């Protein structure tokens, strides 16, 4: 999927050669300028049949001896960055950059892996009731806090109370909203009661517990314990220098999994993402998590390694159902066939994205390729012509038009796009170019984000290039439920059956039921076409080339296998 720029360039040249369009050559030049000279900020804004029991598979503990290997050495410090924290308590912290590094110090009850399925972590076993309304959770025997004491059920109940405390809006409040109560059975077992059926799997347990014996009566921003946290992760805090740095060392009491090769982690306090970028370029920090195409901004003065990973950031072409032409399903289908997703994926997102065939992420265990609802609208310019001919569209003085409700309507359409996203601007230019080959007139409206949102809310567009960052737990209501028209549902799309399906997806009792509902939902979306799925974007973990070992960043934890990283240098 991730090809070199030379191959991409050859692909573009071949593409242009096939269509023979001067306009597309100009488009290529403009795309290159947009992608390589502009930095952009992304908005980074699971179930089988009746299987109700999930067990974790404890990894072997590997004893690591750090020795020299020829001229190469391992160890020393991994340097990272984050914003100045108000707290290092993960349950009352609200800063995403701080949460990212706190994952080195704290472990969740369940973790989200590459396929977006929740998997037991501190929990060793989760047994769901037949109705999906509760589950008994067993903690791992080797789950310890960094002071060597056992993690208990009381710690979990205490942690939920902290998440729901009035101290602030915890980033884990949304995740845990489906939990009604947690009842202690004994020190290692507890029962979770849910407000909605969980279908045999629970995203609600994807939060890190904190030790009650350490934090009780110290849950406030002024407590020193909030800056010297006690966790269960692979590292523990060794020292904290206010507004300067946090130093981590391996957690010697962690019994789960492999011990780290890295001997120290230094987390520098920085002002903003641009400072991070500069610090990485200068070799002050070793890791930079950034938008997928940012590697084009580097001078190449020093060696770096890029590791791409998937996100749930969905890029799409949306239609305005209040527009006379866009309200016609055949017109939407014709436009869908005019979008070359492979071109957008490879040449605009430089291969750092996945072409989307449905609103479900291709990496998700819910994707089910070839299953129900996987009807796609592939790039096919002949199919565009066939559909336009079938619906009676005709050219008049070189402009395509169609008679609707007694009116002869020209295909003169406004395509709205956000000025802060060069990739989406380039994709909009590609769509404009393809549609104009059929005699359509496409006005490209490029506005700053505030104006873009205003025009979306006012319905002042025919089509728009948009992006939405879906939560890890599948929830399509914000975009497509009729109750959200005027909020995120800018399409003015309304379907009673879709509303019902979206509600039922939240309350599926088994994985089979979830698959069935998802299949019908995807089928309706493929037919109604309120959106044309384009790509799910990726992000890139940039690292100093001295950091070796396979890196496997995942959606909500770029340090998911940090124990296998090494730092190497040559004398």
User: Residue 355: its pLDDT value, please?
Assistant: 92
Give the other-Cβ count within 10 Å of 374's Cβ.
Answer: 16
260 to each of 74, 233, 254, 289, 564, how far by Cα in Å? 11, 11, 11, 21, 6
Better pLDDT: 320 or 116: 320
- The lowest-confidence range among 119-133, 272-286, 287-301, 309-323 is 287-301
pLDDT digits (tens, 9 = 90+) for 428-484: 999 999 999 999 999 999 999 999 999 999 999 999 999 999 988 888 999 999 999
- Does the reported pTM lie above 0.85? no
Q: Taking the chain, what is the end-to-end CA distance rounded to the nearest angstrom?
A: 36
Percent of the chain at pLDDT > 70 equals: 83
pLDDT above 80 for 124: yes
pLDDT at position 56 over 90: no
The predicted pLDDT at position 336 comes to 96
Given a cut of 50, whether residue 49 has pLDDT beyond it is no
Taken as a whole, the chain contains a residue count of 571
| Residue 138, beta-bridge partner list | 125, 189
Asked whether the beta carbons of 417 and 408 are under 8 A apart, the reply is no
Q: Residue 542: its pLDDT value, please?
A: 92
Helix axes 422-436, 22-37, angle to 10 degrees: 170
Cβ contact 358:525 at 8 Å: yes
- Burial state string for 88-124 with b = 16 or more CB within 10 A and e = fewer than 16: bbbbbbeeebbbbbbbbbbbbbbbbbeebbbbbbbbb
Q: Report the C-alpha gap between 90 and 295 in whole angstroms.
A: 31
- Kindly report the three-state secondary structure assignment for every residue of 63-91: CCCCCCECCEECCCEEEEEECCCCCCCCC
Six-digit token string for 386: 């066939």
Mean pLDDT score, 109-130:
92
The pLDDT tens digits of the residues spanning 267-277 come to 999 999 999 99
If pLDDT is split at 50, 70 and 90, which confidence band does 168 have?
A: low
pLDDT at 276: 94
DSSP track, 280-343: HHTTSSSEEEEETTGGGG---SS-EEEEEEEEEEEEEEEE-TTSTTTT-HHHHHHHHHT--HHH
- Answer yes or no: is pLDDT of 498 > 90: yes
- Residue written as token pair 């159902």: 321
Euclidean distance between CA atoms 122 and 142, whole angstroms: 9
Residue 5's pLDDT band, with cuts at 50, 70 and 90, is: very low
What CA–CA distance (Å, rounded) separates 421 from 404? 35
Gap between the Cα atoms of 548 and 566, Å rounded: 5
| Pairing relationship of beta strands 179-186 and 189-194 according to DSSP bridges | antiparallel
Three-state DSSP state, 543: strand
Could you say which DSSP state residue 347 is in?
I
Query: Dihedral angle at the C-alpha atoms of 145, 147, 148, 149, nearest 10 degrees?
Result: -70
Give me the helices (H) in 126-198, please: 153-163
Q: Do 373 and 523 contact (CB within 8 A), yes or no?
A: yes
CA distance 116 to 556: 10
Sorting pLDDT into bands at 50, 70 and 90, what band is 565?
very high
């Amino acid at each position: 999927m991730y090809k070199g720029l030379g191959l991409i360039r050859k692909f573009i040249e071949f593409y242009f050669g096939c269509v023979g369009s001067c306009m597309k050559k100009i488009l290529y030049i403009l795309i290159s300028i947009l992608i390589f000279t502009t930095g952009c900020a992304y908005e980074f804004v699971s179930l089988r049949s009746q299987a109700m029991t999930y067990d974790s598979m404890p990894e072997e503990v590997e004893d690591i001896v750090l020795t020299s290997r020829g001229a190469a050495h391992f160890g020393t410090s991994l340097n990272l960055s984050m914003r100045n924290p108000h707290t290092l308590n993960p349950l009352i912290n609200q800063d995403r950059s701080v949460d990212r590094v706190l994952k080195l110090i704290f472990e969740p009850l369940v973790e989200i892996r590459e396929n977006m399925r929740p998997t037991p972590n501190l929990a060793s076993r989760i047994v769901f009731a037949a109705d999906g309304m509760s589950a008994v959770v067993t903690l791992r025997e080797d789950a310890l806090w960094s002071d060597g004491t056992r993690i208990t059920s009381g710690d979990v109940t205490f942690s939920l109370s902290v998440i729901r405390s009035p101290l602030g809006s915890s980033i884990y409040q949304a995740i845990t909203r489906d939990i009604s109560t947690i009842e202690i059975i004994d020190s290692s077992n507890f029962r979770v009661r849910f407000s909605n059926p969980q279908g045999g799997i629970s995203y609600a347990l994807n939060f890190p517990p904190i030790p009650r014996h350490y934090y009780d009566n110290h849950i406030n921003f002024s407590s020193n314990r909030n800056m010297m946290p006690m966790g269960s992760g692979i590292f523990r805090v060794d020292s904290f220098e206010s507004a300067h740095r946090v130093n981590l060392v391996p957690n010697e009491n962690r019994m789960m999994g492999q011990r780290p090769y890295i001997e120290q982690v230094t987390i520098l306090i920085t002002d903003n993402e641009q400072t991070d970028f500069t610090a990485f370029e200068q070799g002050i920090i070793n890791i930079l998590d950034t938008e997928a195409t940012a590697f084009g901004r580097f001078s190449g003065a020093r060696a770096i390694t890029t590791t791409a990973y998937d996100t749930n950031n969905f890029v799409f072409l949306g239609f305005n159902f209040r527009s006379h032409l866009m309200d016609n399903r055949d017109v939407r289908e014709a436009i869908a066939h005019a979008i070359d997703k492979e071109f957008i994926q490879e040449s605009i997102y430089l291969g750092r994205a996945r072409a989307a065939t449905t609103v479900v992420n291709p990496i998700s265990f819910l994707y089910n390729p070839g299953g129900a609802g996987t009807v796609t609208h592939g790039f096919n310019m002949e199919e565009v012509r066939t559909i336009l001919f079938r619906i009676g569209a005709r050219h008049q003085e070189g402009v395509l038009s169609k008679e609707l409700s007694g009116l002869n309507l020209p295909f003169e359409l406004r395509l709205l796009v956000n000025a802060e996203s060069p990739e989406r601007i380039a994709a909009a230019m590609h769509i404009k170019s393809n549609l104009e080959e059929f005699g359509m007139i496409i006005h490209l409206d490029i506005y700053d984000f505030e104006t873009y949102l205003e025009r979306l809310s006012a319905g002042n567009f025919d089509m728009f290039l948009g992006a939405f960052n879906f939560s890890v737990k599948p929830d399509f209501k914000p975009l497509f439920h009729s109750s959200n028209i005027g909020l995120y549902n800018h399409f003015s799309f309304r379907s009673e059956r879709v509303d019902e399906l979206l509600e039922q997806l939240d309350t599926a009792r088994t994985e089979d039921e979830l698959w069935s509902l998802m299949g019908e939902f995807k089928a309706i979306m493929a037919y109604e076409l309120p959106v044309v799925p384009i790509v799910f974007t990726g992000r890139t973990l940039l690292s100093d080339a001295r950091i070796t070992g396979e890196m496997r960043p995942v959606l909500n934890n770029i340090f998911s296998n940090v124990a296998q990283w090494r730092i190497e240098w040559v004398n």
